[in-house]
Structure 1
């Protein structure tokens, strides 16, 4: 068996870049479409594509951030000025945000759990596809992924769930490694 050293080297150093460390440029429309074409190449039992994408770019990110901020302030009237600023920049930290929306639903042959895992696989593929195009990325959910009052603002339909918001952009910050689990702590061998 031949090893793809380039892919192995990438996986040894793959990590997320915090969204607040991202800057322009983000991917072009053609690059976004290429990233999305790669992202959909995931396990998908039954070929039902139990997920969809919502792409947030340009000025819409600021409008959405402000609308989400209003919900956050209503949820927590005691928010500090610093946290209000955080809420007002939710979708403007990175040049591009892509929502992965799980459309998992009861199916005659495909367990719903498998459909949800397929949406998770799409999120990871989006991260790696963005990296392959020379961009940094981060998979976040945050409160708006679980607050149905935010769904109309975000374009999430009734019955859908947000698997994640993938933030994509460029950075000047160095990639810093973080602790990873020891295999002895997460692997059970049944020889």
Structure 2
């Protein structure tokens, strides 16, 4: 719904500045839920809203960048490239975040569970042999999830810096 206002923002600020705002909002928004276990729900909801704003700003800018990089007769290639990068980013993001959650979770399990063979990789697996350790298992999972969200925020900010630098370079060398 808000994407209809993005073209006007791009005209006023330019694509690089709009992309910079998008990546900063998305990265900052991802940090919010990483502190959710110590926050009230409205703060968590605001953080998710900020992530949504960042993505709302980024999508049209990135689409414009991809489509402007190729001649009109190659629009199909640009669309395919856009879909492929979105799919690859989603799959890679899920794999990396899942790995970080699991590593953080298993590293912070109570000592008796961390010696268990096989090592539990889910909350359910950890609670089966030790239902009394519910609080410690929950805290271990929360630690893993918080670490994964912070890592995702860092990746978004670093990737954003690269994308914005590329967009600035593209706009400097583009014919006027």
TM-score by length of 2: 0.30
Q: Which has the higher helix share?
A: 2
User: Rg: which structure is higher?
Assistant: 2
Q: Which has the higher strand share?
A: 1
TM-score by length of 1: 0.28
